[in-house]
A and B are shown apart, each in its own frame.
Chain A
Amino acid sequence: MNLFLYVLTQVCITLVSVCGIYILTGLTGMFSLGSAAFMAIGAYVSGLLVLNTGMNMYLAFLLAIAFAVCVGYVIGFPVVRLRRDYISLVTLGFGESIAQLILLLSQYTGGAFGLIGIPRRVNVWIALIIAILVIILTALFKCSKYGRQCIAIKSDELAAKAMGINTSRVKMIAFLLSCAMTALAGCLSAFNIGYVGPTDFGWKKSADWVIMVFFGGVNSLTGSIFGGAFLTFLPQYMQALNKYRAVVYAVLVLFILNFKPKGVFGEWELTPKNMRRALMRFNRKQRKVKER
């Protein structure tokens, strides 16, 4: 049970950041290889605030997120103006720079040793509640005016511009929202484990999140959440496979990309309407079987 709760906490934290990536990549079509750096910012800022000033944890979260958003605004300035290929490059370089900065400021951040001794106050229920709130927020964003504008930009930026959408503003909003969410994930992670390591936030981590989003379905929030949960849980089932874990994981994702390119869920969302429809279809099938 303890193990289940721990992994569930990990899933919740991952889902918070996957929601951020969904907004950025799924809705807006921007690719970031530096999202994990915002997670690092969230984790370090909130951890340092609480360790040094002893302030309330949630206040520290808010301040950390605010800080991450400010940094995101600075870095977002070039990001929303550049070609899509360059976005991944800029965010990649940004991520590496943040990692270096953490090492260089070792008298504050603990350098290579990481930030040790953060109080462990985030339990599974806090993580679960926050994850659900973030998912609801993401769903609302998707249905809002901005969400639709994001989708328009993703499918054709030029046309979206011609329709009168302020593309760089909408892209900036999506980018900042995503920064805030990954920073929140970092805060949760720091206060759940009680430790932040400087090497845990490389571009591979950002790429992992992108893969999760694609695995479940890049156009579907349900799919992205499914992908995040499934791929975080998966390694737990493969303890016995140990060495083969990385290979199995990669093969699985390649299969999905090749044979189900829209991801497991395509564009399907888990809404009450869709569930009712699915249930009706199921009933109809049952009836047919009975009639036969």
Chain B
Amino acid sequence: MSFQILINGISTGTVYALIAIGFALVFNILKFSNFSYGATMTASAFIAYFLVASKGWGLVPTLICSALAGALISLIGEFVGFRRILKNHSPSTYFFVSSITLGSLYEGLVTLKAGTNFYVYPNFFETPTIQLFQTVISKENIIMLVISVAALLALAFVIQKTSIGRAIRAVSFDRDTAQLMGINATLIIQAVFIISGIFGGLAGCFLGIKYTLTATMGSLVVKGFIASVIGGLGSLTGAVIGAMLLGIMEAIFLSTMGSGWATIASFAVMLVFLLIRPQGIAGSNVQEKA
């Protein structure tokens, strides 16, 4: 296995990590897998493309616009898709169905606006790659890695050190008790959706830069889902580690056995992993109802 494949794997893993974090955040607090997250990424990337990037404003404004759009969409999604379900105390399966539907709604709206054509962000870098010894590293991957790590650190700081972070942890641990303690759970859930949306926007923008912008690119959310399960559902560090492992594992399988068998092999590894260590790498803080 060459060093290049490792680099490729990490670069894929970085994208998966961004997806997995937003995914894990919502899971953490509402205990359901938010499948609308994929379409949120798509929609915010498209908004950033049409509002900013197509005018040639460069990388940073595009990222900011995409993150803001993601936050807004996520907030609207919480209101439209999940607020009432939460109030009705419906079982978590409802969130699941609602999130899938919400996802196809976003996807439908994006298709209405953008058509099924695909779009490509303008090249943000003069020379897109750096040559290091025998390996090629693309600049967008490095920037992606840096921004992901920065965003992660910021997130960790918010969750561990600030009062809102404490509230988030309290609500995710036990919503009802937290509410009794005077925490406005609705507000906290909104805040979590906003943060998750910011990550979604960043992830969407990076996906658009690394690949192409299509209305269906949100289906990559599945990778985030797998990564966050491997990492341990709900755990943020676990999600990142899981995403990296998934990216590297896929790269190795791809280079050794080709496209189709790689998917099957990844599935087999995942299955074995789930049977051996169902709580994920980080060990989950999600308790089974007793």
Contacts and interface: CB of A to CB of B under 8 A. Distances in A.
Interface residues of A, number: 43
B100 interface: yes
A100 B263 contact: yes
Given A158-B290, A254-B105, A78 B271 contact: yes
A92 B221 CA distance: 12
A254 B101 contact: yes
A246 B274 contact: no
A100 B102 contact: no
Given A31-B96, A244-B112, A86 B278 contact: yes
A246 B101 contact: no
B267 A97 contact: yes
B108 to A, nearest CB: 4
Contacts of B108: 244-247, 249-250
B8 to A, nearest CB: 20
Given A97-B263, A104-B261, A211-B101, A259 B84 contact: yes
B98 interface: yes
| Chain A contact residues, majority secondary structure | helix
A82 B274 CA distance: 8
| Chain B contact residues, majority secondary structure | helix
Contact of A203 (B222, B263, B288): B222
Contacts of A78: 271, 274-275
Interface in A27-59: 29, 31
A88 B33 contact: yes
Nearest to B104: A250
B161 interface: no
B267 A93 contact: yes
Interface in B66-88: 80-81, 84-85, 88
Contacts of B109: 247
Contact of A246 (B98, B107, B264, B270): B107
A259 B81 CA distance: 11
Interface stretch (B10-18, B53-61, B225-233): B225-233
A246 B33 contact: no
A214 interface: yes
A246 B97 CA distance: 15
24 contacts: A29-B91, A83-B278, A86-B229, A86-B274, A88-B96, A96-B263, A100-B263, A100-B264, A101-B260, A101-B264, A104-B261, A211-B101, A218-B93, A247-B108, A247-B112, A250-B101, A253-B97, A253-B101, A254-B102, A254-B105, A257-B85, A258-B80, A258-B81, A261-B85
**Pairs A-B, 6 closest by C-beta atoms:** A246-B108, A250-B105, A93-B267, A247-B108, A100-B260, A104-B260
